[in-house]
Structure 1
Amino acid sequence: MTPLPALLLLVLIAAAPAPAPASASTLAVSGGASPVVCGVAKENRTLYCAPVSAGSSNASAVALPLTFAEVSAGRGFVCGLQAGGAALFCWPPAAAPQWQQLKRIYNNGAGALQDLAVGADQVAAYDEAAGRVLWWRGGGRFPERADGDFRSLVSGDGFSCSVEANASAAVRCWGPRGSAVQADFANATSVRYLAAGGTRACAVLASGAALCSGSDSTSGSANASAVLPRDLSPYGLAVGDSHACALRRTNHTAVCWSLGGPTTTVYYPAVGTAFQFLVADGNITCGVASIDFSVMCWSLGSDATTVSLPRILPGVCVRDESSCGGCGYLWQSQQFCGGSGGICRLCDGSSAPPPRGPVSPPPSSPPPPGSSSKRVSKAWIAFCVVGAVGSFAGLCSIVYCLVFGFCSNKRVHNSVQPNITTAGAAAAADNNNNNNNGGGAAGSPYGSPNGSRARGLFRRQLSRVMTRQRSGPSSFKDPAEEFTFAQLEAATKGFAAEAKIGEGSFGTVYRGKLPDGREVAIKRGESGTRAWRFQEKESAFRSELAFLSRLHHKHLVGLVGYCEENEERLLVYEYMKNGALYDNLHPKPGSAAQQSPVASSWKLRIKILLDASRGIEYLHSYAVPPIIHRDIKSSNILLDGNWTARVSDFGLSLMGPPESEETQSQSQRHLTVKAAGTLGYMDPEYYGLHHLTVKSDVYGFGVVMLEALTGRRAIFKEAEGGSPVSVVDHAVPSIVAGELTKVLDPRAPEPAEHEAEAVELVAYTAVHCVRLEGKDRPAMADIVANLETAFALCEGSAGDRGGGGFGNSSSSASMSVTSMDRSGALV
């Protein structure tokens, strides 16, 4: 039943006479009553499943944003091996498995796994580092391990088989049916590739001939297979209950034949279509087409039809080209594997060309000569009409600016929108700024003019944008109040040192009390008379005032008002009683934060992360155009008296790329801006290439999540005098290796049963947030959904998630997994 495509060229032993690929696959089919096919997507290595039936609905993502290296299926469940081989997940064969159906199998100290092979009720995989085959489930009918060097591991009903990676290339089998299957291959030589399904196993020999066990119902001998097709590719073979399919050596088209009957019927399900590899189960066979990596499936004796899966990864990624037995990588496959490794090319003597990308459409043919004069005359008419309309619009704009921009002195800071028009303007603004925390200074939404002219220009521009519409579904709020400097000075008792509570992107934050009794936080821009210093302060002040006047959300800090007198620039916010998340995670000795419940509660930490993620999601998804915060860090996540988290400090924020760029996805659009932010939280892609996207905020939030899990600062020293270490480098390897407990914050209690699942879900989400390339990171909506699931697990109500009020659901919620050991039930 195991999918046995041949392209997956994981060479196990260099001493083997002819290195051959492993039997692992990026596609699997479970051929039960409602057949389901699952595959690893080429674009991002996430896993999708879809029903095999014709006219089926779109594919559903499984365990987003986990990435997978291999997938295999049996009759009762599907399993996926996470990228890197550290974790194994299984779920029922459903087109859209629910998050609670996903189970994790722990590998009990094994190294990175490969060659995943699922049978009727057993799961097998190969631990290359230790040189052993491991099993899970199987009802005690399989050994716990089988030591040796093997390749082409497969599983069927009641048996698993593999080929010894030595000169003999003998077939070894285990399980209750293992000895009978092994006996049928006793005289076989030069076995290149194995496949299994139902009660049978088949092999392709070096000669291109096929050999199947139990093919003859009278003799039960594999040697009774002389009528089977020949000249087969050694790496293309799949076996179902009563049929087998393989790829022809000459053109990689599929040929299938019946098994177990008195006669053998040969048929061709997809004439003229070349495939990368095939998989089978029950009476269903599926393959990945070479031309575009789409998936086609067929049942016994029928023609192939396309299934609604995304383009599938055309093989398992291997670390280096030496694993390909001298065949090299498949054309362009390194980009499919994230730049680390590639997919081995088939080198079986076939003449099939490597798959190419979509061919560009031919240029349009020139118009007939007689139409040129008519086209010119129409063009002149259009030009005149557009010119007249444009002139009228320009005149109206000038009148509007004169009336509202210069004649009105009233300033009402409400519903504002920063005036960024192009990435180039933002970049020009940033080029005049200095670094903030090692990353760069705030880029003004309005540019950075110099001296007194700057102050006047800022005022005029700000007054012009006051009337612009609010974006996103935020509720309306009262206009920001304008305070005098004397009022705020009195509220902070002369900006006394004891009133100081923190630092912001452009100044110091003080706690104050207004005459009406309201407690507020007052941010005062740093003093300084130098032109560049004033520019920097003015830029951050305008940016934050503009954004917070416009935005209103439960998880964004609320703006109360502002002060603008002479050189003084102050912003007044709602006071957050419990300070910043940073101070609660890393309290100073003797401070009140040392007794913070954040240190002792996993549930509270996850709630705070969920609150903050909702605030960032609002900026990315509901502001039009989206807003990029640029300085997401734990010190900018503030906690009110009820421990509700709010995102603060918009001094570095910028509006995202224009929505009119329809040719690119949101994650691909970027601003070209000088790097700004805080070291340790900055997106490497942004820091190195100056490409700013909403995924830059996702990276910073991933660091915050790791900070909350480990209790470590974004950059810390392991010991006094040691070298600085980032929390990403500290935590990610252990999480990927399934050793999360090694890096969890030792101050927090050991997570309870439901909390353990929640913490694991948060850790996996964080790992994907801090991936090097922004396109590989999840969107904030997916992060919110995962954190909602994690919080529901902490409350013990995850099973009621559908009606539990967690509004931002997503397919990524399926990432939550139930822990399981090697002997536990999968479903």
Structure 2
Amino acid sequence: MKISLTASTTAVVFLAVLMANVEGLGSATTVAIVASSGTVCGVLADFKPQSIQCARVGQSAFPVLPNISFSSVSGGRNFFCGLRSGGLSFFCWTVNNSSSFFLPVKRVYKGSVLLTDLSVGEDQISAFERNTTGKVTWWRNDGTFPESVAGDFVSLTSGRKFSCGIGNSGGVICWGGRGAEIQRAFANISMMSIVAGDSHVCGITISGFLICRGSNSSGQLNAPSGRAFEFSGLALGVNHSCAIKQPNGTVLCWGGGAGGWRFSPGNDTMFETIVAGGDLTCGLSTANFTVLCWKADSSANPLVTVLPLPKIIPGICVLSENSCKCGVFPDSESLCSGSGVICKSCTPPLVEPPPPSSVSPSPATAPQSPDSLPSSSKISKGWLAFAIIGSVGSFAGLCTILYCIWKGIFRHKKVHNSVQPTIAGHGTTVPAAATNNTVEPSSITVNSPFTSPSGSKSRIFRRHGSRIIRRQRSGPSSFKERSQEFSFSDLAAATKNFSLELKIGAGSFGTVYKGKLPDGREVAIKRSESSSRAKKLQEKESAFQSELAFLSRLHHKHLVGFVGYCEEREERLLVYEYMKNGALYDHLHARAADAGKLNSWGIRIKVLLDASRGIDYLHSYAVPPIIHRDIKSSNILLDGDWVARVSDFGLSLMGPEVEGGHLAIKAAGTMGYMDPEYYGLQHLTTKSDVYGFGVVMLEVLTGKRAIFRDGESCDPVSVVDYAVPRIADGEIARVLDQRVPTPAPREAEALELVAYTAVHCVSLEGKDRPAMADVVMNLESALALCEASGNVSGSRSSNNSISFASLD
């Protein structure tokens, strides 16, 4: 196609098209922001594989699984996605608003077609398929996006309910519920690049000028005028916009408030690329490739915070120098860990703007709303509004201070402990740690610049507040009165005088027998040992009193049902509902070559989900939370309907009343399941139970004991050391229990989710582990995938494709 351009203009346009630093929310780059939580994630430089790490202000960085190489990342409202090096698959991670930094992962695509320009909007995901014809494809489609659109597009970007690309002619083409609106705003304008924010889009015209279109509620369209090609990299948030200025690489931002304002973060700091999400913007510094972040506010020099991330790669690695039209980025081969190079950005010369009549529409000539025009009357009204708002704010601040003083003086009583054990018979007392907890203060809270202006901070407060209310409402109402007291003779008769043939197991407190009460109920009766060693253990741990206290008050369908107790002379007995199908441990580690009743991944995941709900009940609905301290597969029992229930509360304690605190108490539990922080530092938290459950999850996946002997060396090996490195490397199939049939595609996806969840659960530090509520959420998603494949009860799916096209 012949284009009528002068030679000089053609050269400028050619160079401009090759500029690489045009990044932002919803566009593929090496740094991404999750808008709702202010989580920033990036692809590591000088590191093999080029894995991803994430961080927030004031908190240490944490790795993201799987530990494989990624080429680019893109962030949305509450999740982000990473395109694997090679472009044949991508993964997405959901990011919680809580401080646990738990990132459930899901492989969304695995195929034979090369993907590029992965772009995440508010919820949708899109990418270019680089096959013979080329097309844009969407995942997590809300019905307003087509499944795919054929054509060769460039500069793919996504915002809230729209995605846009640039066609061969330079025209902007958009899709989605708001696509037509954005496309009309760019009618008859030839663009070189575009970047989307929440409800607006900015870009560089083929003449090199910066323009913005869409919503201007906070002045985010009031882009500065300048010379051609003065602005390169772009980043757009909810109500602000930022650009990198050439030739010095500094950043200029605008918008962020009523009428908008302009600010230059970092003063003279030079940036290679910038991204935005919510009211947060982050840039990769030219000096050392560290990530610097700031919030959009009215300050001319906003506070810039260095994020605790390692060095991030300054651009997307390509396979060879042949792909780079303007040379190679300095030291890029080392930055790409020998797996490619980074193309150097083309920097066309700055061109003075021509007269307005010959320039493509730009902010300098774009129509301005009357409210944005300066006038003495508007300035006077502005000062009047400022004075009124300031007065109201001052009054509100004074009220807040008075309220805080009142609360500090009069609200000094401790909250009633709704599950405080009250049973203490025969001189036996509850352990001191259970009644006089030694609690370390939680970490100091750092004011984060990552709060989304769209209200995510208030959502966090509402979520935490609602959880407290749920605890207060459902806590005491969920507890039942002290259960039935039996005579020793009745329980001896029920077990045929504790016959060995009725012995079904043992726990932290004693031996368990099957029994039958006079009314016909089948029960499990736990009897304390009478040896001196057992008595010493009982005296030390008060196992009977602890278990009786908790079981008398707790009631949940995924906790073992408590029937009653017996206290006569030296005898201590506890009576439970009988769990017909025994312990999970016995089914996982039976000598038989087959998996018995747990012969499908769907059934195994369901058992894990049941147990996780029971533990979450202890952690989330008791005030203060109850720490089980001995979560293991032999303490997860299965009733006649294969419903899992958590048992054995002999070691349980009440957790610290201070959120984020811990109990300082000597370690107790079972080797192989014990939290390293608890075992080594004697720091007990609810995350100690999470670690134990993570080990159980690995047992279920692998079929191996918590500690087993290696077949080659006969040395003892923990299932954590065996499975975690392989799962982290994305080799989940290598560790799966071979007694269970090969997973169907949806099951494979579910197992990935379970495996990555388990790896996070067994993190060495408790702060890196998820809360049980998060584990429950992931297991629910995994079970839904199995149910979609029709394989919870053992049925098989005939679909052998491994292409996952949805996000939960």
Q: Normalising to structure 2: TM-score of the pair? A: 0.53
Tell me which residue corresponds to 1:584.
587
The residue number in structure 2 matching 1:788 is 780
Local SS of the residue matching 2:501: helix
Q: 1:608 to 1:23 in 2, by over 3 A?
A: closer
Change in CA separation of 1:280 and 1:536 when aligned onto 2, cut-off 3 Å:
closer
- 2:625 maps to what in 1? 626
Question: Following the alignment from structure 1 to structure 2, what is the Cα–Cα distance between the partners of residues 248 and 80?
Answer: 30
Q: What is the CA–CA distance in structure 1 between the aligned matches of 2:514 and 2:748, rounded to whole Å?
A: 38
Aligned partner letter, 2:622: A
CA offsets, 1:707-751, max 9 Å, x none?
Answer: 111111111123165222221222222222222222111111122
1:558 to 537, 558, 561: 561
Partner Cα distance (2:741, 2:733) in 1: 11
3-state DSSP of counterpart to 2:668: coil
CA distance in 1, matches of 2:700, 2:618: 22
Q: How does 1:197-596 map to 2 (within 5 A)?
A: 199=192, 237-238=233-234, 245-246=243-244, 252-254=250-252, 269-271=262-264, 273-274=266-267, 278-279=273-274, 286-288=281-283, 294-296=293-295, 313=307, 317=311, 420-424=434-438, 472=475, 474-475=477-478, 477=480, 479-529=482-532, 533=536, 535-536=538-539, 539-589=542-592, 596=596
Instruction: Give, in whole Å, the separation in 2 of the partners of 1:498 and 1:138.
Output: 68
Taking the TM superposition and a 5 Å limit, the aligned residue runs for 1:23-38 are 24-27=30-33
Amino acid in the other structure paired with 1:506? F
Between the aligned partners of 2:717 and 2:768, the Cα distance in structure 1 is 24
Q: What is the CA-CA distance between 1:253 and the residue it aligns to?
A: 4.3
> Structure 1 residue 78: deviation in Å?
9.1
Aligned AA (1:617): D
**Aligned position for 2:91:** 89
SS in 2 for 1:631: coil
In structure 2, the CA distance between the partners of 1:303 and 1:628, relative to structure 1 (3 Å rule), is closer
Partner in structure 2 of residue 711 of structure 1: 703
- Asked if structure 1 preserves the Cα contact closer than 8 Å seen for 2:483 and 2:564, the reply is yes
SS in 1 for 2:532: coil
Q: Which runs of 5+ in 1 are unaligned?
A: 8-21, 30-35, 49-62, 122-134, 144-155, 161-174, 178-196, 203-211, 218-225, 257-266, 327-384, 391-403, 427-468, 799-817
For 2:615, the equivalent position in structure 1 comes to 616
Distance in 1 between the 2:576 and 2:234 partners?
65
Matches of 2:721 and 2:737, distance apart in 1: 16
Aligned-partner SS, 1:765: helix
What is the alpha-carbon distance in structure 1 between the residues aligned to residue 233 and residue 488 of structure 2? 79
Question: Following the alignment from structure 1 to structure 2, what is the Cα–Cα distance between the partners of residues 655 and 677?
Answer: 15
Shift of 1:683: 1.2
Once residues 422 and 755 of structure 1 are traced to their aligned partners in structure 2, the CA distance between those partners, rounded to angstroms, is 46
Deviations 1:643-696 (A, max 9, x none): 1111000111110002xx3xxxx3x21111111111111111211211111111
- Structure 1 residues 530 and 699, CA, compared in 2 at 3 Å: closer, same or farther? closer
Equivalents in 1 of 2:228, 2:530: separation in Å?
87
Question: What code does the residue aligned with 2:597 have?
Answer: P
Kindly provide the CA deviation profile for residues 240-289 of structure 1, in whole angstroms up to 9, marking residues without a partner as x: 9xx99326898954389xxxxxxxxxx9942355576643699x995459
Looking at structure 2, the residues matched to 795 and 826 of structure 1 have their Cα atoms a distance apart, in angstroms, of: 15
Q: 1:159 to 1:84 in 2, by over 3 A?
A: closer
Q: Secondary structure at the match of 1:423?
A: coil
The answer (yes or no) to whether the contact 1:509–1:522 under 8 Å persists in 2 is yes
Q: Distance in 2 between matches of 1:556 and 1:78?
A: 33
RMSD, aligned α-carbons: 6.1
SS of residue paired to 1:544: helix
SS in 2 for 1:597: coil
| 1-structure distance, mates of 2:128, 2:539 | 61
* SS in structure 1 at match of 2:492: helix
Gap runs ≥5 in structure 2:
1-16, 43-51, 57-62, 98-102, 122-126, 136-150, 156-165, 169-189, 196-203, 210-225, 255-259, 314-328, 332-408, 414-421, 441-471, 791-799
| Counterparts of 1:687 and 1:753, CA distance in 2 | 39
Looking at structure 1, the residues matched to 663 and 84 of structure 2 have their Cα atoms a distance apart, in angstroms, of 31
SS in 2 for 1:795: helix
> Cα gap change, 1:627/1:280 in structure 2, threshold over 3 Å: closer, same or farther?
closer
Q: Describe the SS at the equivalent of 2:566.
A: strand
Shift of the 82–559 alpha-carbon distance from structure 1 to 2, 3 Å rule, reads farther
Provide the aligned length of Structure 1 versus Structure 2: 536
1:693 counterpart = 2:685: yes
The one-letter amino acid of 2:274's match is V
CA distance in 1, matches of 2:562, 2:695: 26
Quickly say closer, same or farther: Cα 1:648–1:83, change in 2 above 3 A: farther
Q: Partner residue of 2:694?
A: 702
Say yes or no: does 1:735 pair with 2:727.
yes
Residues 612 and 304 of structure 1: CA distance in aligned 2, closer, same or farther (over 3 Å): farther
1-structure distance, mates of 2:423, 2:560: 30
Q: Which residue of 2 aligns with 1:645?
A: 644
Q: Which residue of 2 aligns with 1:605?
A: 604
Q: Secondary structure at the match of 1:548?
A: helix
User: What percentage of aligned pairs have identical amino acids?
Assistant: 50
Amino acid aligned to 2:90: L
Equivalent pair of 1:716/1:725 in contact (CA under 8 Å):
yes
Displacement of 1:534 after TM fit? 5.6
Distance 1:423 1:498, change over 3 A: same
Give the corresponding residue for 1:104.
108
**Would you say the 8 A contact 1:253–1:271 is kept in 2?**
yes
Distance of 2:502 and 2:762 partners within structure 1: 36
2:395 corresponding residue in structure 1: none
**SS of alignment partner, residue 768 of structure 1:** helix
The 1-side partners of 2:518 and 2:77 are apart by: 70
Cα offset for 1:487?
2.4
Aligned pair 1:677/2:679, yes or no?
no
CA pair 272-286 structure 1, distance change in 2 beyond 3 A:
closer
Cα distance 1:774–1:84, how it changes in 2: closer, same or farther (>3 A)?
Answer: farther
Give the conservation status (yes or no) of the 8 Å contact 2:527–2:573. Answer: yes
> Secondary structure in 1 aligned to 2:31?
coil
CA distance in 2, matches of 1:589, 1:73: 47
- Report the counterpart of residue 757 of structure 2 in structure 1: 765
Q: CA deviation at 1:576?
A: 0.4
- In the TM superposition, residue 5 of structure 1 has moved relative to its aligned partner by 9.1
For residues 493-548 of structure 1, what are the alpha-carbon distances to aligned partners after superposition, in whole Å with 9 as ceiling and x for unaligned?
Answer: 23222211111012111111223222111111122236962644771111111110
User: Is the contact between residue 276 and residue 282 of structure 2 (CA under 8 Å) also seen in structure 1?
Assistant: no
Q: Report what 2:635 is aligned to.
A: 636
* 8 Å CA contact 1:629, 1:654 repeated in 2: yes
- Asked whether the 8 Å contact 1:627–1:653 carries over to 2, the reply is yes
Query: Once the 2 structures are TM-superposed, how far is the Cα of residue 589 of structure 1 from its aligned partner?
Result: 4.8
- State the partner residue of 1:359: none
Distance 1:273 1:525, change over 3 A: same
Matched residue SS, 2:527: strand
Q: Which whole-Å CA distance do the structure 2 matches of 1:676 and 1:100 have between them?
A: 30
For residues 740-783 of structure 1, give each alpha carbon's deviation from its aligned partner in whole angstroms, at most 9, with x where no partner exists.
22211111112223322222222222121111211111111111
Deviation, structure 1 residue 559 = 1.6
1:609 aligned partner, one-letter code: L
Alignment partners' CA distance in 2, 1:727 and 1:502: 24
